[in-house]
A and B are shown apart, each in its own frame.
Chain A
Amino acid sequence: MAPHIELLLQTLIAGILLGGLYALIGLGMALILGVMRIINLAHGDQMMIAMYIAFFGYDLFQIDPYLSIFIAAPALFLLGVGLQKFLITPVLRVESILPHNQVILTVGIGMVLSNLATVFFTSDYRSTPVSYATTAWYLSDYWKDAPIELSLSLPWSVSFVFSVAITALLWFFLGRTDTGRSIRATAQDLDAALLMGVNVQRMRMLTFGIGSALVGAAACLFIPIYYLYPALGKQFTNIAFVITILGGLGSVEGAIVGGVILGIFESLTSTYLGMGWAPAGRFIIFVLVLIFLPGGVASLIKKKRFAK
């Protein structure tokens, strides 16, 4: 009995830790979707670029990946603002038959980013073997007679804590600062925001920048515990949009819940079905959510609010 519970608990813990990180990835995309109604299919590739920044920071300058957040996040912020200003805004202005040009544009951007990475960095797997990579805390160290053994990996935990901290910062920013409120206003009602004097153009650039910075931070949190190769970008894009849809229609709270759910789900599938099924699992959740709960978790939260 004990080994089963132990496995389950360990899997759940891993899932929650993973979920926290996933939430950070999904948040960026959800924010951009919610405020600008833009689906950024280059999201994961941007994260991949940030991971390379962190990797080279470690490889060439021995900068700890966690510290690289202060390099990667601003760098990605600038990248995001640049993409928004020079590519996305022109596309939105253009008159065309198909309204989905914006999605196609981000596909193009993603292709360029991932291919450039392959050309310049090669497809070799990279990692940052920091000294504490395998450090972990064991339950038995603290509770001598514990019936089960649980371990908590240091880098995973640190990444999780950072992720929560960044999410909290974002929450505070959106909820309490004027700029944050202006961004939320732009998301809710573009015309009303314009009428109230919000500089919508600037808010959009800021949002894309912040969304990119979030994923830049997530990259630094991921690299100590994962390995890096150019095609990873695609995987992260998939994760991001599954979380966005699971969370619902650009909702920030939904993305957080969605990220944790996906993390737990993947952890469970990994343990009980095998690692290879994770990508399939993601897409299947995606399709199931689209069929049965198109509004995502956010719609459930809304229903609860109205029922009060």
Chain B
Amino acid sequence: MTTMKKYFPLIVLGCLAMLPLIGLSDYIMHIIILVLMWSVIGMAWNLLGGYCGQVSFGHAAFFGVGAYSAGILYYHTGITAWWGMPIAVGAALLVALGIGFISLRLRGPYFVLSTLAIGEIFRIFAENLEEYTQGNLGIMIQQRSWVEKAPYFYIILGIAALTFVVVKIVAESKWGYYFVAIREDQDAAESLGINSTLFKTIALSLSGVFTGIAGAFYMNYMGYIDPGIVFALGEISILTVMVVMVGGVATYWGPIVGAVIMVFFSELIRSLPTVGAAHQTLFGILLIVIIIFLPNGIVGDFPKLLRLFGIGRKP
């Protein structure tokens, strides 16, 4: 590995760390914070979906549980919602073990469907258990910690950097090999001494915990959550899948690239006057196009992408 490649992540981190000093507008900082948050969710999903091959359409369950860990703590005890983050770790872990017990025995598309169903079950319970969650009224934080964006920026940047490092370390370790082996051929993996249930659960747990942390951050940053937002199938679960599929499954930078594209794309379209209402259609079309032409995402299918634009050599 060349020195440049080895230090690339650090260089990126360094540049990002200096962003608040440039004096960008609040709106742009908000966008960047969203990009970083989605990078975390994307990297977390990628660990389970890209590396371990278990595609979840229900990650909103973890995000929402994380958000509500912070929200419920704040609402019922008045303690600052930031303590929701460590609680979110525990809560997300429990949820992961529960989901794992129900769903991991299922193969392929049945696993996918069960995660979708479980995500929706969480949403419906959150809507109905009004004593705890305030139902559709949602939870609002009366006094947000800071007015400026910079502190939030550094917090999410730190979380994103941590997630990146953890994913990298895991992917290059025994666990990483085991995840990929399970993805490639679960039966062969079992015959090689790999307890696939255990390792799928580990992948699910890691994935869930980081997504939960992102959820807790969201509660603190946005100041308002309700079940329709944080447990949303389209805006959270499916968007997560899109972020990673567009960016590149099973790559380190894929989810980050995907987050940049999806957030920018989303904001851009929403601001256009007439086309705005059709943003889901455009998302859908983007998803279809990527799935057919660049199924491994921009980073994963980069050579193919170059060829499509006429650059690069033919194989």
Which chain A residues have a beta carbon within 8 Å of chain B's beta carbons?
39, 87, 90-91, 94-101, 103-105, 107-112, 114-116, 118-119, 234, 238, 241, 245, 276, 279-280, 283-284, 286-287, 290-291, 294
Contacts and interface: CB of A to CB of B under 8 A. Distances in A.
Residue with the highest number of chain B CB atoms closer than 10 Å, among A108, A109, A238, A286: A108
Contact of B121 (A90, A107, A283): A283
Q: Which 10 A-B pairs have the closest CB atoms?
A: A111-B284, A96-B295, A108-B287, A112-B284, A115-B280, A115-B281, A108-B288, A280-B124, A108-B284, A283-B117
A229 to B, nearest CB: 15
B245 interface: yes
B226 interface: no
Contacts of A294: 105-106, 110
Given A107-B238, A119-B278, A90 B55 contact: no
A306 B114 CA distance: 29
B114 A287 contact: yes
A290 B112 CA distance: 12
Given A104-B245, A115-B284, A291-B102, A245 B238 contact: no
B121 A98 contact: no
Given A108-B287, A290-B114, 4 more contacts: A87-B288, A91-B295, A108-B285, A245-B113
A97 B250 contact: yes
A103 B121 contact: no
A287 B117 contact: yes
B124 A283 contact: yes
A118 B280 CA distance: 10
Given A103-B109, A115-B278, A115-B280, A109 B117 contact: no
B156 to A, nearest CB: 27
Describe A's contact surface by its main secondary structure: helix
B146 to A, nearest CB: 36
A287 B121 contact: yes
Interface of B: 49-50, 53, 55, 57, 102-103, 105-106, 108-110, 112-114, 117-118, 120-121, 124-125, 128, 183, 233-234, 238, 241, 245, 249-250, 277-281, 283-288, 291-292, 295-296, 300
Nearest to A87: B288
A100 B281 contact: no
Contacts of A103: 55, 57, 109, 112
Contacts of B277: 118-119
Contact of B288 (A39, A105, A118, A291): A105
Contacts of B238: 107, 111
Contacts of B233: 234
Contacts of A111: 234, 238, 280-281, 283-284, 287
A18 B241 CA distance: 34
A245 B110 contact: yes
Contact of A104 (B50, B108, B113, B291): B291
B291 A108 contact: yes
Contacts of B287: 104-105, 107-108, 111
A241 B113 contact: yes
Nearest to B120: A283
A112 B281 contact: yes
A193 B269 CA distance: 47
B50 A97 contact: yes
Given A91-B291, A95-B295, A280 B125 contact: yes
Contacts of A99: 53, 108
Nearest to A39: B109
A101 B280 contact: no
A284 B121 contact: yes
13 contacts: A87-B288, A98-B245, A98-B249, A100-B108, A100-B112, A103-B112, A104-B245, A108-B283, A114-B280, A118-B277, A290-B110, A294-B105, A294-B106
A106 B114 CA distance: 16
Contact of A280 (B50, B121, B291): B121
Contacts of B292: 87, 90-91, 94, 105
B36 to A, nearest CB: 25
B76 to A, nearest CB: 24
Given A99-B108, A104-B241, A111-B283, A287 B291 contact: no
Given A39-B109, A91-B291, A287 B125 contact: no
A290 B295 contact: no
